Chains A and B, each alone.
Chain A
């Protein structure tokens, strides 16, 4: 089944403790992206990647890192999480020709 898999689905952590949210897609998509969703603010792009070793900042990249060492994986790294990064995070992917994004199931992160 074609899908984007995110882990974990839920995460509660403390301020300053490094964490990684994993994202993997099995559709051989070139493009992958991370979004955060906050009430009243819609979906805002954090980082995106056009292909392996090619990444760029989105609209809200501060406090986040990404890497794209393999085509299928695009982890999101929070080196020192803060409470304002409490949010619902979505990973998404799409292929050339753009049939639209396929989203992962989301990761609800709480930083206390």
Chain B
């Protein structure tokens, strides 16, 4: 089955700096890669996703890149703000017909220091 590894497990950045979280996946059939943000005591919420036919996607201060050949994808947060402090999870999923199963990485705890 799919295995997703996520690094780093914790990340501390100064407000205004950039944060980068990296994930690798094992199953070359995976074609959907979402990122979730989980604030303390809350549910995970989708912040951005990318499909395997796209190399990069941006949404304001957040961007995700995908390298299918190397089987890795990354989340980039620019101009970090205190409200970006949370745990971030990457995930990978096979095509719908194979079960739509999301396999999650272990999470990255991001702390943005004012």
Interface residues of chain A, those whose CB is within 8 Å of chain B, are 31, 33, 35, 40-45, 48, 50, 56, 58-59, 90, 94, 96-106
Contacts and interface: CB of A to CB of B under 8 A. Distances in A.
Contacts of B93: 98
Nearest to A56: B99
Interface of B: 1, 6, 32, 34, 36, 43-46, 49, 89, 93, 96, 99-107
A49 B36 CA distance: 21
B34 A100 contact: yes
Given A40-B106, A43-B104, A100-B49, A90 B96 contact: no
B101 A45 contact: yes
Most buried by A among B36, B102, B104: B102
Contacts, number: 53
Contact of B103 (A45, A50, A94, A102): A45
A96 B104 contact: no
Contact of B107 (A42, A50, A94): A42
17 contacts: A31-B100, A40-B106, A41-B106, A42-B89, A42-B105, A42-B107, A43-B44, A45-B102, A56-B99, A59-B1, A96-B96, A97-B96, A98-B100, A100-B34, A100-B46, A101-B46, A103-B43
A105 B43 contact: yes
Contacts of A58: 101
A33 B99 CA distance: 11
B101 to A, nearest CB: 6
Contacts of B6: 42
A48 B44 contact: no
A33 B93 CA distance: 13
Contacts of B101: 33, 45, 48, 58
A42 B106 contact: yes
Nearest to B9: A40
B96 to A, nearest CB: 7
Nearest to A108: B41
A104 B43 CA distance: 7
A45 B44 CA distance: 14
B46 A106 contact: no
